[in-house]
Amino acid sequence: MKDIILKAENISKQYRLGTVGTGTLSHDLNRWWHTIRGKEDPYLKVGETNDRSSKGNSDYVWALQDINFEVNRGEVLGIIGKNGAGKSTLLKILSKVTAPTTGVIKSRGRIASLLEVGTGFNPELTGRENIYLNGAILGMTKKEITSKLDEIIAFSGCERYIDTPTKRYSSGMTVRLAFAVAAFLEPEILVVDEVLAVGDVEFQKKAIGKMQDISKSEGRTVLFVSHNMTTINNLCKNSILLENGKIFKSGPTAEIVPYYLSSSQSEEMISKVIFEKKASKLFQFLEAKLITKSGEFIENGIVSTSQEYGFELEYLFNEQVPKCHLTLIIKNSSGEVVLFLDRSDFYQEFFVAETGKYKARIMIQNPLLKPDVYFVTFGLSNQYSNVNDHQFDVLKYRIEDISSIRASRQGVLFLPTEWEMNKI
């Protein structure tokens, strides 16, 4: 017999584009009046589709449409899909951060969410105070929280800084503490977004182990979003694949992941992306593109194994930021991180950013990556990483080596080696 703990019924989410807050009530009433008479939404253009990759004429966009699924107690469900597929919107609805336009979420028990760096944390409060704050939000008593306090602090590894305001924490420290709070305060349902990618490898292993433990040993449910297909394979028995706001495919992870990877590799490369400019942000990326060693744009997104290449970034600071750092992450087609670079690894200091626009080039010298499709993430953070702009998997390029049999071999790198052989 099924023990269903979470059920999504006909979930759809619509957002209005353009100016915020104009005509909202009248539009809602008009839409409602058309709906009860069985007529179509009067504000959607004839023939308008929900393909967010193309420019439409409608003032509205469906972030999610007709989402239906069930999750059993003790199950770890993977949610995968490319950027813009609707994964984060779905998690926000499941976490009751935002309401669906249509449909209903039925759940049994408390839901704890880890959606973004610092979610649910007050940066002015200390780590210890934020633990109690989050526990209170989950409906726990002070005595219950205190009984878990030592475990939370030990798991997070933030013992030395637990009485320091979290605005002083790095993004990694914030994520470690937030995950520990969400996992150890024993919610019936744990919702985890791609935010774990901010943590280091050791923490990611601990977090994955904890999620496996709470699902198998404690019978709690986990909903997990990630671009790392290796983690999804290891952690999730079943998964759903989102595409353009709809469930495109669902079932055993062993079937969903290979399908997703094969469809991703058959798509066009993304060698250049321009980000929307937002005046409210302290700093942000404006543009990213794939370039040759001489700085020429690689339009087709394809490089050879012996070719030196890199990435050109444009970013904007709306205010002076005294200490910043820039990061680059490259993942292969399986979602495994094959390269994680931070500017401070090479220059033992942060850089000072005055107000204005900047350009940076990150060149990959003596490339060692084997033929595959790769996804690139960029990060820009202040000294404490509590203010940041992370653009996940925004570039997609392919490395080809049609002249070598090495392309079919296992592994992720071609390492230059020296071989010495002598008869003895």
Give 161-206 pLDDT, tens digit per residue.
Answer: 999 998 888 877 888 888 888 888 778 888 888 766 666 677 778 8
pLDDT of residue 78: 93
Average pLDDT over the chain reads 82
Give 226-284 pLDDT, tens digit per residue.
Answer: 887 878 888 899 999 999 899 999 999 988 988 887 776 667 899 999 998 877 788 89
Task: Map out the domains of the chain as residue ranges.
Answer: 71-261, 270-398
Which range scores top for mean pLDDT: 30-34, 142-146, 413-417? Answer: 142-146
Mean pLDDT computed over 283-310: 91
Question: Domain spanning 71-261: which superfamily?
Answer: P-loop containing nucleotide triphosphate hydrolases (3.40.50.300)
Mention every residue, 6+ apart, whose C-beta is less than 8 A from residue 273: 287, 288, 289, 391, 394, 395
Give the class (CATH, top level) of 270-398: mainly beta
Q: Which two tokens stand for residue 341?
A: 């670079």
The Cβ of residue 260 has, within 10 Å, a number of other Cβ atoms equal to 23
pLDDT of residue 196: 65
The percentage of residues in the chain with a pLDDT greater than 70, rounded to a whole number, is: 85
pLDDT of residue 335: 80
pLDDT at 21 over 70: no
pLDDT of residue 233: 84
pLDDT of residue 163: 93
d(CA 129, CA 121): 9
Phi, psi of 27 (to 5 degrees): -65, -45
pLDDT tier for residue 372 given thresholds of 50, 70 and 90: confident
pLDDT of residue 57: 56
pLDDT at 56 over 60: no
pLDDT at 33 over 80: yes
The single residue listed with the structure tokens 């998690």 is 91
Higher pLDDT: 87 or 325? It is 87
pLDDT at 22 over 80: no
pLDDT of residue 402: 52
pLDDT at 376 over 50: yes
Decide if 71-261 and 270-398 have a common fold. no
Weakest mean pLDDT among 149-153, 204-208, 214-218, 402-406:
402-406
In three-state form (DSSP H/G/I as H, E/B as E, the rest C), the secondary structure along the chain is CCCEEEEEEEEEEEEECCCCCCCHHHHHHHHHHHHHCCCCCCCCCCCCCCCCCCCCCCCEEEEEEEEEEEEECCCEEEEECCCCCCHHHHHHHHCCCCCCCEEEEEECCCEEEECCCCCCCCCCCEHHHHHHHHHHHCCCCHHHHHHHHHHHHHHHCCHHHCCCEHHHCCHHHHHHHHHHHHHHCCCCEEEECHHHHHCCHHHHHHHHHHHHHHHHCCCCEEEEECCCHHHHHHHCCEEEEEECCEEEEEEEHHHHHHHHHHHHHHCCCECEEECCCCCCCCEEEEEEEEEECCCCECCCCEEECCCCEEEEEEEEECCCEEEEEEEEEEECCCCCEEEEEEHHHHCCCCEEECCEEEEEEEEECCCCECCEEEEEEEEEEECCCCCEEEEEEEEEEEEECCCCHHHHCCCCECCCCCCCCCCC
d(CA 104, CA 94): 10
pLDDT of residue 6: 92
Which range scores top for mean pLDDT: 72-81, 132-141, 396-405? Answer: 72-81
Give 335-357 pLDDT, tens digit per residue.
Answer: 888 888 887 776 656 677 788 99
The Cβ of residue 162 has, within 10 Å, a number of other Cβ atoms equal to 18
Q: Which of 362, 398, 399, 365 is nearest to 379 (CA)?
A: 362
Mean pLDDT computed over 317-339: 86
